[in-house]
A and B are shown apart, each in its own frame.
Chain A
């Protein structure tokens, strides 16, 4: 066989080998989609709060007790005080696992003056609660305004629900 014929034969063999599919490449494949279904992320509902005025007893000043119904999937709650006059907001407590919190004069006076000033000016501080789980927070609850219990009581740190 001449060299030219040998070269042609080798080239033909290579071309044939490349065009013949391998077993893996020849395997059949079929696809389909699962029937449609839906899913959504959950959402934390806003707590609904109530306010109860607690009278002064045994040397303790009067205070306002804020309560709310537990929120499904919430792991804790954050309580916030807002100056109704200027909208300044301060966090009263975070990581609250109970569904009540007592708002006393001492609690409010621990906040910045921007919030407490509302009380001293005869205004109100509005308490709201948000439900929390991980980084999710619910919309704020309805606000519960609290005021000084009285001029004398206020000087002693007493507060009460406005309504």
Chain B
């Protein structure tokens, strides 16, 4: 009896297994993939903050009178505020005053926080309440100018041209 040889050669059999694995393998992986989705979000705009300074005169100038030897003259209130942005930004104020060089040897200046004489003399390192001033807050300064009693007679009727430079520093503590 003739018997057909149905045996598949080993090489062919292994090839078939490999092909099946290649074909079925990706499908199996896809079946095991975790679902995911991707959607663009509208990001909020963010930026760095900023810090600026502004100053303007307010109140009465009634105490601002021509200087005499040994006497003082007080400005109106100089209202200082910090401009800019920053939710947690705090600041401290400082000021420096100067007068014309011709009278500088005979003139002294003092800046007060609040009213001249009754306010707090501005410390050398500036002034701020505990925690510093918040943006939007303001502080009033006053400048007192005093002419020395020893000023000679030649210092009569001379313009002083005072200048005040305000500095606003970020309070870091």
**Interface residues of A, Cβ cutoff 8 Å to B:** 23-24, 27-35, 37-44, 73, 133-137
CB distance from A72 to the nearest CB of B (A): 10
Contact: A35 with B55, CB < 8 Å?
yes
0/1 string, B124-159, CB within 8 A of A gives 1: 000000000000000000000101011111011111
Chain B residues in 8 Å Cβ range of A28:
51, 89, 169-170
Q: Which B36-79 residues have C-beta < 8 A from chain A? A: 51-57, 64-70, 73, 75, 78
Contact: B169 with A29, CB < 8 Å?
yes
C-alpha spacing A134/B154, complex, angstroms: 12
Contact: A30 with B69, CB < 8 Å?
no
With A41-B66, A136-B156 as contacts: A32 and B166 at CB distance below 8 Å: yes
Closest to A73 in B: B68
**Which residue of B52, B65, B157, B163 contacts A33 across the interface (Cβ within 8 Å)?**
B163
- A42-B65, A136-B155 known; 14 new pairs, CB 8 Å cut-off, are A27-B170, A29-B167, A30-B51, A31-B53, A31-B168, A32-B168, A35-B55, A39-B66, A41-B160, A42-B156, A134-B69, A135-B69, A135-B151, A136-B152
The 9 lowest CB-CB distance pairs between A and B, nearest first, are A134-B69, A42-B66, A34-B164, A43-B157, A43-B156, A27-B170, A28-B170, A28-B51, A32-B53
CB distance from B63 to the nearest CB of A (A): 12
Chain B residues in 8 Å Cβ range of A33:
55, 163-166
From A37, A38, A73, A133, residue with most partner B Cβ within 10 Å: A37
Q: Bin chain B's interface residue count.
A: 35 or more
B172 within 8 Å of A by Cβ?
yes
Contact: B69 with A34, CB < 8 Å?
no
Contact: A133 with B170, CB < 8 Å?
no
Contact: B168 with A30, CB < 8 Å?
yes
Chain A residues in 8 Å Cβ range of B161:
38-39
**Interface residues of B, Cβ cutoff 8 Å to A:** 51-57, 64-70, 73, 75, 78, 82, 84, 89, 103, 145, 147, 149-153, 155-172
**Which residue of A24, A30, A135 contacts B153 across the interface (Cβ within 8 Å)?**
A135
Contact: A136 with B66, CB < 8 Å?
no
Chain A residues in 8 Å Cβ range of B147:
41
Chain B residues in 8 Å Cβ range of A27:
169-172
C-alpha spacing A40/B56, complex, angstroms: 21
C-alpha spacing A29/B155, complex, angstroms: 37
C-alpha spacing A47/B158, complex, angstroms: 21
Contact: A136 with B57, CB < 8 Å?
no
C-alpha spacing A73/B67, complex, angstroms: 10
Chain A residues in 8 Å Cβ range of B169:
27-29
**Which residue of B52, B64, B68, B158 contacts A30 across the interface (Cβ within 8 Å)?**
B52
Chain A residues in 8 Å Cβ range of B168:
29-32
Contact: A23 with B172, CB < 8 Å?
yes
With A29-B167, A32-B55 as contacts: A136 and B69 at CB distance below 8 Å: yes
Chain B residues in 8 Å Cβ range of A39:
64, 66-67, 73, 145, 159-162
